[in-house]
């Protein structure tokens, strides 16, 4: 066990090329997915928060429930969509990084949208009268609040990133865990552990945790600085 | 006169959650005289002003301005101003932009408004870190920039110390001098005397009395107003 940890650390320290390729692809896939999910999720969350339409309550419940989507189910859904016989089979995306980005975007979108919905709704109670008094409502009001609480929304984005970087099921199914093409940190850890190559699995595990920690620390620093700056 | 005043409330009432907050009332607000809305907590002052301003829709009756499209000709300052997390200047610019003022004029008008309320020194500071008095003056600057015909103020100095309250009163006076109709609720009878020309006294959602300020304070007609002035609440 200790040997495995030491070897794992050595792999990380010696910048093993194979390991860093895997780390790079993981980051590229998860960050892209979170970027897309943020671009879509924040406006959607804000719209639901501010909008008054029939069935709104049901939409909110649905969105909250979707936060718990099982990654393998999302993977299966995207697999069916992209498989040769599927509606988007023509694109030939299955077992490529873009397929993994699509799957993770679907997985993360409800998390970011639901958390943004809650944050915007809480703030809207404070802003609504003032904004309506200024002649602002609807879309513009939602965007104003979204921008005004942008640093608080970092938490929603981080929650999405945590989900994306930690999941195995979706990328495994739609990526196929092909060495050098679609192999990412979590799928490698799962594979190498089952094969008994503990050093690589442990090394990747440590890198994964370090990255998640660093991103969260950076976000916290940004939030604190913004809080001091803008109140 | 081509303005939006007079404002007429015809049979306006307001109920929420099964409780009647404003009983059906008829009121006319003319240009000129500053109107102070007085009354105990829960008398309906805030709700009445929100009905006038258009933030609440009346349950019955109608709120009619002399001319249509009054939204940009009236402004409201709340007890607790809601300021955006951006600079003081940018807060005023935002209001101007929302009112459809051309982009080229926004910065100049915003600076003039900050100057008017004595906040020129704070133009670049984030609005939310200003002191309570400064925040309320910024809210007034945001209203000033729009040059409204009517300014509603809902207990604008309730959360402020006397020094800050005096500065706010000076700005409200300046609005009055500039020709803006003031409609203000307050708990501070001294402030009502200093700023008001007439009083509308609300009691349990009804207009119990409406009188010029110089008549209201020495000789209130209604027993409720008399008790209120004496500091004795009629139900105590």
pLDDT tens digits, one per residue of A11-63:
777 767 888 889 999 999 999 999 999 999 999 999 999 988 999 999 999 99
Q: What's residue B159's pLDDT?
A: 87
Convert A177-199 to b/e letters by CB count within 10 Å (16 or more is b): beeeebbbbbbbbebbeeeeebb
Nearest to A127 among B75, B82, B127 (CB): B82
User: With contacts defined as CB-CB under 8 Å, which chain A residues touch B75?
Assistant: 133
Cross-chain Cβ contact B84/A229 below 8 Å: no
Residues A144, B97: contact at Cβ < 8 Å? no
pLDDT tens track, chain B, 236 positions: 468 888 999 999 999 988 999 999 999 999 889 999 999 888 999 999 999 999 999 999 999 888 876 456 899 999 999 999 999 999 999 999 999 999 999 999 999 999 999 999 999 999 999 999 999 999 999 999 999 999 999 999 998 999 999 999 999 999 999 999 999 999 888 899 999 999 999 999 999 999 999 999 888 899 999 888 887 544 54
Residues A99, B47: contact at Cβ < 8 Å? no
Q: What's residue B166's pLDDT?
A: 93
Q: What's residue A187's pLDDT?
A: 94
User: With contacts defined as CB-CB under 8 Å, which chain B residues touch A152?
Assistant: none
Nearest to B78 among A129, A144, A148 (CB): A129
Nearest to A110, CA basis, from A74, A63, A43: A63
Q: What's residue A227's pLDDT?
A: 85
What is the number of CB-based contacts under 8 A between chain A and chain B? 44
Residues B95, B157: contact at Cβ < 8 Å? no
Nearest to B84 among A135, A144, A229 (CB): A144
Nearest to A231 among B55, B128, B142 (CB): B128
* Tens of pLDDT, residues A116-147: 999 999 999 999 999 999 999 888 999 999 99
Residues A14, A200: contact at Cβ < 8 Å? no
CA distance A22 to A186: 9
CA distance A31 to A21: 15
Average the pLDDT over A173-200 and give the result: 91
Average the pLDDT over A80-88 and give the result: 92
CA distance A203 to A201: 6
Q: What's residue B72's pLDDT?
A: 66
Q: In Å, how far is A129's CA from the nearest CA of chain B?
A: 7
Q: What's residue A20's pLDDT?
A: 86
* Tens of pLDDT, residues A152-172: 899 999 999 999 999 999 999
Neighbours of A13 (CB within 10 A): 9
Cross-chain Cβ contact B82/A136 below 8 Å: no
Q: What's residue A199's pLDDT?
A: 86
User: With contacts defined as CB-CB under 8 Å, which chain B residues touch A222?
Assistant: none
Residue A165 contacts by C-beta under 8 Å, 6 or more apart in sequence?
A: A26, A27, A30, A185, A186, A208, A211, A212
Nearest to B38, CA basis, from B179, B235, B170, B226: B226
Give the residue on B whose Cα is nearest the Cα of A129: B55
Q: In Å, how far is A162's CA from the nearest CA of chain B?
A: 28
CA distance B216 to B200: 9
Residues A187, A175: contact at Cβ < 8 Å? yes
Cross-chain Cβ contact A130/B129 below 8 Å: no
Q: What's residue B236's pLDDT?
A: 44
Please report, for residues A146, A176, B35, B184, B188, the alpha-carbon distance to residue B194 in angstroms, rounded to integers and kept in the order given.
41, 78, 12, 12, 10
Interface residue ranges in chain B relative to chain A, Cβ cutoff 8 Å: 50, 53, 55, 71-72, 75-76, 78, 81-82, 84-86, 94-95, 98-99, 126-129, 142
> How many angstroms separate the first and last alpha carbons of chain B?
46
CA distance B45 to B186: 9
Q: Which helix (H) or strand (E) holds A42?
A: helix A17-50
């Amino acid at each position: 066990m200790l040997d495995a940890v030491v070897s794992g650390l050595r792999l990380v320290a010696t910048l093993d090329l194979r390991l860093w390729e895997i780390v790079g692809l993981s980051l590229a896939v998860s960050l892209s997915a979170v970027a897309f999910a943020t671009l879509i999720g924040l406006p959607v969350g804000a719209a639901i928060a501010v909008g008054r339409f029939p069935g709104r309550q049901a939409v909110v419940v649905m969105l909250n429930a979707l936060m718990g989507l099982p990654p393998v189910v999302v993977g299966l859904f995207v697999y069916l969509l992209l498989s040769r016989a599927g509606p988007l089979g023509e694109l030939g995306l299955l077992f490529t990084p873009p397929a993994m980005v699509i799957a993770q975007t679907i997985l993360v979108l409800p998390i970011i949208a639901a958390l943004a919905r809650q944050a915007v709704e809480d703030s809207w109670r404070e802003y609504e009268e003032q904004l309506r008094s200024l002649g602002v409502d609807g879309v513009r009001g939602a965007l104003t609040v979204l921008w005004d609480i942008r640093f608080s929304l970092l938490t929603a984005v981080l929650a999405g990133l945590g989900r994306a970087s930690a999941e195995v099921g979706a990328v495994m199914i739609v990526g196929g865990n092909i060495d050098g093409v679609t192999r990412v940190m979590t799928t490698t850890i799962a594979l190498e552990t089952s094969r008994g190559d503990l050093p690589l699995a442990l090394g990747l595990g440590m890198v994964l945790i370090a990255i998640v920690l660093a991103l969260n620390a950076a976000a916290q620093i940004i939030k604190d600085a913004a809080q001091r700056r803008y109140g | 006169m081509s303005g939006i005043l007079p404002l007429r409330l015809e049979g306006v009432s307001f109920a929420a959650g099964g409780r009647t907050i404003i009983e059906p009332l008829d009121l006319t607000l003319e240009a000129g005289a500053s109107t102070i809305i007085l009354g105990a907590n829960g008398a309906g002052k805030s709700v009445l002003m929100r009905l006038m301003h258009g933030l609440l829709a009346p349950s019955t009756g109608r709120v009619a301005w002399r001319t249509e499209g009054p939204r940009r000709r009236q402004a409201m300052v709340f007890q607790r101003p809601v300021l955006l997390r951006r600079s003081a200047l940018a807060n005023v610019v935002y209001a101007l932009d929302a009112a459809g003022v051309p982009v080229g004029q926004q910065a100049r008008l915003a600076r003039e408004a900050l100057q008017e309320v004595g906040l020129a020194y704070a133009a670049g500071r984030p609005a939310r870190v200003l002191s309570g008095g400064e925040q309320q003056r910024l809210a007034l600057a945001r209203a000033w920039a729009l040059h409204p015909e009517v300014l509603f103020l809902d207990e604008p100095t309730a959360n402020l110390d006397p020094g800050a309250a005096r500065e706010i009163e000076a700005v409200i006076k300046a609005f009055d001098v500039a020709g803006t109709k003031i409609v203000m609720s307050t708990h501070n009878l001294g402030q009502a005397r200093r700023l008001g020309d007439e009083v509308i006294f609300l009691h349990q959602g009804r207009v119990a009395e409406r009188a010029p300020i110089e008549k209201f304070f020495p000789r209130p007609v209604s027993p409720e107003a008399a008790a209120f002035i004496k500091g004795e609440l009629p139900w105590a």
